[in-house]
Chains A and B, each alone.
Chain A
Amino acid sequence: MKSRHLSDEQALDLAMSEAGLDENHAHLEECDVCRDRVRHARDGWRLAVDTDIPEPSPLYWEASKRRLGRELDAEDARRRQRRWLTLAATAAAILATIAILAPVFVGLGRDQRAETSVDAWSALPRVEDDPSLPMIERMLDVETEHAIGCCLGSCVLVLSDEEVRVVSESLRVEMGRSL
Chain B
Amino acid sequence: MSHSEKATASVGEDAALVKAYQRGEREAFDTLFERHQRNVYRLCYRFVNNHEDASDLVQEVFIKAYRGILRFRGDSSFSTWLYRIAVNTCLSYRSLRRPAMEEFHDDKGANANDVIERIEKDERSRQLREAVSRLPERQRITLILKVYHDLKHADVAHVMGTTIGTAKANLFHALTNLKRLLEKGQGGAP
* In the assembled complex, A125 has its CB within 8 A of some CB on chain B: no
CA distance A11 to B169 in the complex (A): 9
Contact in complex: B168, A61 (CB < 8 Å): no
Q: How far is the CB of B171 from chain A (nearest CB, A)?
A: 6
Contact in complex: A54, B169 (CB < 8 Å): no
Selected contact of A12 from candidates B37, B59, B125, B171, CB within 8 Å: B171
A residues in contact with B143, CB < 8 Å: 48
* In the assembled complex, A110 has its CB within 8 A of some CB on chain B: no
CA distance A15 to B147 in the complex (A): 13
Q: How far is the CB of B163 from chain A (nearest CB, A)?
A: 10
**Which residues 25-54 in A have Cβ within 8 Å of B in the complex?**
37, 40-45, 47-54
**Which residues 37-85 in B have Cβ within 8 Å of A in the complex?**
37-38, 41-42, 45-46, 51, 55, 58-59, 62-63, 66-67
* In the assembled complex, B149 has its CB within 8 A of some CB on chain A: no
CA distance A25 to B51 in the complex (A): 43
Question: Of the 9-residue stretches A67-75, A93-101, A111-119, A127-135, which lies at the interface with chain B?
Answer: A67-75
Contact in complex: A47, B171 (CB < 8 Å): no
Contact A51-B30, Cβ < 8 Å, known A15-B175, A75-B63:
no
Selected contact of B168 from candidates A8, A67, A72, CB within 8 Å: A8
* In the assembled complex, A64 has its CB within 8 A of some CB on chain B: yes
* In the assembled complex, A56 has its CB within 8 A of some CB on chain B: yes
* In the assembled complex, B160 has its CB within 8 A of some CB on chain A: no
Contact in complex: B172, A67 (CB < 8 Å): no
Contact A9-B178, Cβ < 8 Å, known A47-B128, A56-B41, A72-B63:
no
Most buried by B among A67, A72, A75: A72
Contact in complex: B30, A48 (CB < 8 Å): no
CA distance A45 to B147 in the complex (A): 8
Q: How far is the CB of A18 from chain B (nearest CB, A)?
A: 16
CA distance A64 to B30 in the complex (A): 11
CA distance A42 to B59 in the complex (A): 35
B residues in contact with A50, CB < 8 Å: 124, 128
**Which residues 1-32 in A have Cβ within 8 Å of B in the complex?**
7-9, 11-13, 15
A residues in contact with B178, CB < 8 Å: 44, 47-48
Q: Which residues in A have some Cβ–Cβ distance to B below 8 Å?
A: 7-9, 11-13, 15, 37, 40-45, 47-54, 56, 60-61, 64-65, 67-69, 71-72, 75
Interface pairs (5), CB distance under 8 Å: A8-B169, A12-B168, A47-B179, A51-B129, A68-B33
